[in-house]
Amino acid sequence: MPQEYAELWTSLPAPLDRARQYLERRGDSLPETALRALAREVILRVSRAALDAETAFATPEIVHQADRAEIEALCDALLSPDDAAAAEMVRGARLSGMPAAVLYHVYIAGAARMLGTRWDRDEATVPQVIIGAGRVYGILRDLREVFLTERLIAPPGAAAVFASVPGEVHGIGATLAADTLRQKGWDITLRLGLGHDALVEEIAALAPTMVALSASLPTLTFATARLIVALRVRCPHVWIILGGPILWHDAHVGAIVDADASAADIESGLTLMAAHLDKLNRLARG
């Protein structure tokens, strides 16, 4: 891989760079085309949120709409040499009273869609877009509690989506974990064997507050990191726990792929999910 591309890995979401380094230490490598694919992963997912929301958020309750000039300025900041400029603009919009729904679906998603358009028209270089995509991910990651707090109208119940990572051929572990939590009163939706795009959109449609992902082998590390990045930009509020035999190979892989928590067994996973549910209930009560 050319040096200029190797250096750009650090501009993408940290979990993807960590996953890349992890696989390289194991003797695997990723082509430079992966950089472009991952930048598009962020841009297309966030852009789709803008398209989905054009009608839903055109309501009297939304008193502040980001206009085109504001969105264009944010896109410029995502492409600028100043690494903090875009984040500062989003922070300023939030402090000025922009609702979380508009912040994500109109302001940030609109800028991401514009970023993708500039890429398609060759109005922005590949390195610029890769860096911009990494900044979008970082902004959404930092704002997760803002999105979550405004989303909670009533205390959430004990519910989650359990899913196998795309490429995983063993669904028995996720099925067993789902059944165990159901027996304890949890409402669990199970999704197995779906491809990357289908799984991301399925989870986005379900809009859970918690997602449990299952993977078995270290070779699924990058697929897991890619899935988590896609889920975070598509569902900024979501809390993700990683489980399965992949953790038996390396207990630190959850941090590598940017999971919020990881559990090598069902009982410890249940403990972590219950603790997060308690946190959600406290947030909802204010």
Name the domain boundary from 93, 110, 142.
142
89, 170: one domain: no
**Mean pLDDT of the region 99-119:** 87
Structural domain includes residue 83: yes
Structural domain includes residue 153? no
Cα 48 to Cα 50: distance, rounded to the nearest angstrom: 5
| 78 shares its domain with 167 | no
Average pLDDT along the chain: 85
Q: Is residue 148 part of a domain?
A: no
Residue 93 in domain = yes
Model confidence over 132-160: pLDDT tens digits? Answer: 999 999 999 888 877 766 655 434 678 99
User: What pLDDT is recorded for position 285?
Assistant: 76
Name the domain boundary from 94, 117, 142: 142
Q: Of the given ranges (48-52, 101-105, 212-216, 226-230), which has the lowest mean pLDDT?
A: 48-52
Burial 162-176 (b: 16+ CB within 10 A, else e): bbbbbbbeebebbee
Say which range, 164-178, 205-219, 245-259, has the weakest mean pLDDT: 164-178
- Check whether residue 112 and residue 205 sit in a common domain: no
Do 163 and 138 belong to one domain?
Answer: no
pLDDT band of 59, cuts 50, 70, 90: very low
| pLDDT higher than threshold 50 for residue 61 | no
Same domain as 128, residue 12? yes
Q: What is the largest CA-CA distance in the chain?
A: 56
DSSP string covering 160-201, please? EEEEEPTT----HHHHHHHHHHHHTT-EEEEE-S--HHHHHH
Claim to verify: residue 52 and residue 135 sit in the same structural domain: yes
What is the tens place of the pLDDT at every residue in 274-286? 999 988 888 877 6
Look at 5-9, 104-108, 190-194 and tell me which has the smallest mean pLDDT.
5-9
**Counted domains in the chain:** 2
Confidence at 65, pLDDT banded by 50, 70, 90: low
Q: Same domain, yes or no, for 166 and 220?
A: yes
Residue 270 belongs to domain with CATH number: 3.40.50.280
Q: Which of 168-172, 225-229, 257-261 has the lowest mean pLDDT?
A: 168-172
Using CA atoms, how far residue 98 sits from 58, 68, 83, 102, in Å, is: 14, 15, 22, 7
Q: Do 224 and 260 belong together in one domain? A: yes
Q: Which domain holds residue 182?
A: 159-285
In a domain? residue 277:
yes
